[in-house]
Amino acid sequence: MAQKLIIDADPGIGDTLAVLTAMADPSIDLLAVTAAAGIVSGVQATRNLQYLIELADPVRHPRIGQCSRPAAVDDAMPDVANLYRHLNGREGLGQTEIQTVDLHNRRESAKLIVDISREFPGEVRLLTLGPLSNLFVAADFDPQICDHLHSVVTLGGTTQAAGDVTAAAEFNIWADTQAARGVCGLAIHKTMVPLDISSRPVLSFDDVDTLCGFLDPTTTGLFVSRLLQFAVRGYRRHEALEGIPLHGVSALAVAASAEAFQVEGEHVDIETTGELTQGMTVVDRRHTRSGRHNFDVVSSIDDVGVIDYFTRAIRRICQ
């Protein structure tokens, strides 16, 4: 039976690649994509998700949750804001100009998550690829959401490596630390895919060239090719990285059980007030915490398998 899934995202090229992969994966029943405010505003995230669905035109269109919150990066942190624009483009999808019509039957992302979890109690897994704001608000809307959702898989945090937005913090956690800390306390099965794991599967320059050569010249295929070429240039120039890290696809592979991975039960909390450590993911490994885990933290993943999973799915959706 296909895994019923909601993807909460702030696309972004990385999230875009994950959403397209999910729409192409026959083992996933993608019920909804919900917009979050992160590297782009909630309004832009909504438009990007709508554009992707219209572009890929899957057999079953997922419902769209909208968001109106501002982006988490702004003029207060110009270096961070500029980096994300260089890596993702001003609107999140490289140089693609987004043209969509306004949604009918608008639903706020958090409310849509609540409604779908009630409609399919115990069956829906939520994959969060952006800040945890929508899940936090959804739990406020419906305190029973932990009983209704099957589980949550979160792309975020870092347990072994340095942060990517500050020395201590990973972006998705840093962008809404109060929400992240609140989610830590939710009584639901949660799996964290931290930065030190999601950064390992990297689509190399050769991989990008090979994949783009195999993609059919459909509208979707041309869009994906342009997106990959934009990303690979951005990571080389601004991150000195010889490829594209598949952060979102790694988290999707965990949510879909598409590739082998291992987890360790950990007690996780979030620093919300430190001048230098705000947004830091704190893993308490003291023996006194034994048996009090609130997250399964992914400790290893099949890097090559994730890349293969992505390339198979992208070739399928670009046909």
DSSP string of 75-119, one letter each residue = TTSHHHHHHHHHHH-TTSSTTPPP--PPPSS--BHHHHHHHHHHH
What's residue 291's pLDDT? 63
Q: How many CB atoms lie within 10 A of CB 29?
A: 17
pLDDT, tens digit, for every residue of 23-44? 999 999 999 999 999 999 999 9
pLDDT of 73 reads 80
Structure tokens at 196: 């030190």
CA distance 188 to 138: 13
Instruction: Render the burial of 271-287: b for 16+ CB within 10 Å, e for the rest.
Output: beeeeeebbbbebeeee
CA distance 129 to 158: 14
Q: Is 172 helix (H, G, I), strand (E, B) or coil?
A: helix
pLDDT at 1: 83
Burial class of residue 256, CB neighbours in 10 A (0-12, 13-18, 19+): buried
- pLDDT reported for residue 289: 60
Q: Which CATH number does the domain 3-317 belong to among 3.30.70.20, 3.40.1390.30, 3.20.20.70, 3.90.245.10?
A: 3.90.245.10
Q: Which residues of the chain have pLDDT under 70?
A: 75-76, 103, 288-291
* pLDDT confidence of residue 75: 62
pTM over 0.75: yes
**Alpha carbon 8 to its chain's center:** 7
The residues pairing with 288 across neighbouring beta strands, listed in sequence order, are: none
Per-residue pLDDT at 74: 73
Confidence (pLDDT) at 22: 98
Placement of tokens 């069956």 in the chain: 123
Report the pLDDT value the prediction gives residue 217, as an integer from 0 to 100: 93
- Biggest CA–CA distance in the chain, Å, is 58
Residue 120 backbone zone (phi > 0: left; psi -120 to 50: alpha; other: beta) = beta
Question: What φ, ψ does residue 108 adopt, rounded to 5°?
Answer: -65, 145
Q: What is the DSSP string of 65-76?
A: EB--PPPS--TT
pLDDT in tens, 297-314: 999 999 999 999 999 999
- Decide if 76 contacts 103 (C-beta within 8 A): no
| Rounded Cα gap, residues 33 and 54, in angstroms | 13
Tokens at residue 215, please?
Answer: 């993609």
